[in-house]
Copies of this chain bind each other. A is one copy, B any other.
Amino acid sequence: MLIVQKFGGTSVGDLDRISSVATRVAKTKKEGNDVIVVVSAMSGETNKLVGYAEHFSSNPARAEMDMLLSSGERVTASLLSIALNELGYPATSMTGRKAGILTDSLHTKARIEEIDPSVMKDSLKEGKIIVVAGFQGVNENGDVTTLGRGGSDLSAVAIAGAVGADLCEIYTDVSGIYTTDPRIEPKAKKLDKISYEEMLELASLGAKVLQNRSVELAKKLNVNLVTRTSFSDEAGTLITKEENIMEKPLVSGIALDKNQARISLMGVADRPGIASEVFTKLANSDVNVDMIIQNKAHDGTTNIDFTVPLSDLNDAKEVVAVFFKNNDISTESYNDKICKVSIVGVGMKSHAGVAAKAFSTLASQNININMISTSEIKLSMIIDEQYAQLAVRSLHDAYELDK
C-alpha cells in the first residue's frame, strides 16, 4: 500500500516524540508499504515565531509571516528524516516546493491549486521514505506560502490525492471520532468508519481532530482518511465514501454545540421583503446565521427567530438595533443560554422515525425543544443550555450508540 502519514505538533512535540514517530513510520515501511510522511512544526514553535513577529508589528506583511512560519516544519522534516536514516530506512525531507505543492498567492491562508507529484514519485521508486514539511507551498512566483490553520492536514490530504495513496492517516493526541463527546457520555464508542458527509455534520465532534476543510478536500479527492493517535497502536476512525460503508447505521453520532445564541424578533412589520432585508444586512456584517424560524402572529405581524454563533452575537445585535429604531420590529430578545444538539447518520436518509424518537426521548426528560432543523442526514434541535448533557446522554442511550 501507499500510505500518507501526517503527524501534528504534539506528535512531534519534542525530540523523544520525533523518535517515536520515526519508529512508527519505519514499522509501516517495514510492513511493505510505501510511506510519505507530512509533519507539522514542533508544538509551541509556530506560536513562538508569531510572538517574535508581534514584537515588531501588530500587522506584519503576510508574505513575511509565511517566510517566518514555514521554517518550523522544515526543522521537523529534516530531523525526522535524519532519525529514519539512523534507523536504517533511507529517507529524504522535502519542502512544500520540492514536493510540488503549488498554491495561490493568498499569503498565510493560501489554497493548494495543484500538486506535481513527479519528484515524490521518483523518490518512492528509489525506495525512500519521503518526509514533507506540511503547511506550506509556493505560489507561481516561487514565493513560500502557508495554508493557514490545519494546513498540514490539507498538505497530507492533497498529497494523498495527488499520488493516489491508499490511505491518509492523520495522527493527533485523540484516538478517533466518537459517537459523542466522551467527557459528556463516558459510554461513547469510537466509530470504526464514518462517511465524509457524516463527518462534516459532526464537525463539533471532530473539531479537535480534523477541520472541515480537510474532510471536504478528502471527499473531493476521494482520499480514505484515518484519524488515530500517535500515542498508542489503537486503531482509529476511517472517514470514507458512503459506498465503502457496508452497514449503514441509523445514527452515527450525537454532536453538541454550546456556542450558539438565539435572537427573537417579534412584531416584524407586515411589509414585503423586511425579513430578507434583515438577513441581507446580517450577511453583510459577516454574521453567520444558522437556523431560522418564521411564523405569523395573530395580529398579522411576523415573528422571526434565528440562531448565530455566540461570537457573532454582538454584530447581530447592532444590525437588529437599526430595525428596532425604525419601528420595523416591536420587540427584540436574545438568549445565549441555549445549545444545539444534533443527531447525525446516513441511515436517516432511508429510515423514518428517527426524528420521532428524538422528540419523545427529550419529552420524556421534560426537555423543551425551542427550534428544529433537519437535513438529509442530520436533525438539529435547539434546547436550553442546562439540559445539554442530559439531552446528549438520553439520546445516546435511545439510539443505542454504546452497543
Contacts and interface: CB of A to CB of B under 8 A. Distances in A.
A49 interface: yes
Interface string A9-42: 0000001001100100000000000000000000
Interface string A48-87: 0100110111001101110110111011011101110110
A71 B60 contact: no
A95 interface: yes
Contacts of A57: 82-83, 85-86
Contacts of A95: 67, 144
A93 interface: yes
Nearest to A81: B64
Given A85-B60, A98-B142, A78 B55 contact: no
18 contacts: A18-B56, A22-B56, A57-B83, A60-B82, A61-B81, A61-B85, A63-B92, A64-B78, A64-B81, A64-B92, A64-B93, A67-B74, A67-B81, A67-B93, A68-B78, A71-B74, A97-B142, A98-B143
A53 B67 contact: no
Contacts of A85: 57, 60-61, 64
Contact of A82 (B53, B79, B83): B53
Interface string A259-273: 000000000000000
Interface residues of A, number: 38
A48 to B, nearest CB: 10
A55 B93 contact: no
A75 B56 CA distance: 13
B79 A53 contact: yes
A78 B65 contact: yes
Given A61-B81, A68-B74, A71-B74, 11 more contacts: A15-B56, A52-B79, A56-B82, A56-B83, A57-B82, A60-B86, A64-B82, A67-B74, A68-B78, A71-B75, A98-B142
Contacts of A60: 82, 85-86
Contacts of A144: 95
A95 B136 CA distance: 15
A100 to B, nearest CB: 11
A310 to B, nearest CB: 33
A57 B89 CA distance: 13
A86 B142 contact: no
A67 B77 contact: yes
Contacts of A82: 53, 56-57, 60-61, 64-65, 68
